[in-house]
């Protein structure tokens, strides 16, 4: 029984350490999120998209009649989606 409890503690500590080393879902600093947004916008611009508007965590890009929204979430994930007109 003591061995099972010890094993459970070791597994719990390992999971806690692995989760913490990956950031554990903690928010990135605003400057890092901004850098990621700027990099994403630069990538889209290299493909012919023009920056229409921008906030601290999102940008609206246009190419012809197409409109795309690029977002950076608190964890630093970058997503893009077409915007319906």
CA-to-CA distance for 85 and 83, rounded, in angstroms? 6
User: Which run of H or E residues covers position 41?
Assistant: helix 30-46
Question: Whats the size of the chain, residue-wise?
Answer: 85
- pLDDT at position 23 is 52
pLDDT at res. 42: 98
pTM exceeding the 0.75 threshold for the entire prediction: no
Residue 71 is encoded by which pair of tokens? 């977002």
pLDDT for the residue numbered 58 = 98
Question: What pLDDT, on a 0 to 100 scale, did the predictor assign at position 13?
Answer: 45
Residue 26 has what pLDDT? 84
In angstroms, the first-to-last Cα distance of the chain is 64
**Per-10-residue mean pLDDT, the chain, length 85:** 46 45 73 97 98 97 97 96 88
User: What is the rounded CA–CA span in Å between residue 2 and residue 34?
Assistant: 50
């Amino acid at each position: 029984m003591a061995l099972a409890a010890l094993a459970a503690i070791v597994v719990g500590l390992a999971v806690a350490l692995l989760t913490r080393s990956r950031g554990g879902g903690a928010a990135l600093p605003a400057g890092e999120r901004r850098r990621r947004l700027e990099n994403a916008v630069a990538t889209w611009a290299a493909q012919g998209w023009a920056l229409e508007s921008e906030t601290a965590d999102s940008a609206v890009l246009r190419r012809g009649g197409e409109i795309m929204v690029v977002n950076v979430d608190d964890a630093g994930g970058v997503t893009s989606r077409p915007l319906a007109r």
